[in-house]
Amino acid sequence: MDVRDAVEADADRLAELTDHPSDVMRNLVHDRTVRVATEPDADGAEEGGRVVGFVSYDAQNGVVHITQFEGALQACERLLEEPLRFARGESMSVELLVSENADEKRDIAEAAGFHNDGRGPAFDGMPTVRYRHEPTRVEQ
């Protein structure tokens, strides 16, 4: 699995992964840091492989905010490393909101070192859980 920066041409695939319109995902690529995980195409070609997941994030007021992560389980596990690596380099905390009923995503977040920081806001009536990751002295 390779990880690279998302490009505008990835918007249709990101839309498939999220059930959001392609133009919304195109704007996401322009407005946030978006990293995609790819796997080789059916013919085995690594370059330009199929997007199997993505993570988007931005940084404000000393905190990296993960705005979305979607895709295959293994891809999501790998992709969470991206904003964490950025945050370590900048000595920043990381926040992530996960739908209360998204057990696999919650497990991935906890395995990556995030701790449950209580209830988050509701989106479309769905409650969320706020997760936070603080850099340790070793990481700083």
Supply the pTM of this predicted model. Answer: 0.88
E strand map for the chain: 2-5, 33-39, 50-60, 63-71, 93-99, 115-123, 126-133
pLDDT at res. 138: 44
CA 2 to chain centre: 15
pLDDT (tens digit per residue) in 41-66 = 776 555 568 999 999 999 999 999 99
Ordered structural domains, the chain, with CATH: 2-133 (3.40.630.30)
Residues of the chain with pLDDT under 70: 43-48, 136-140
- Supply angle C-alpha 136, 60, 17, rounded to 5: 90
- Does residue 126 contact residue 101 with C-beta atoms inside 8 Å? yes
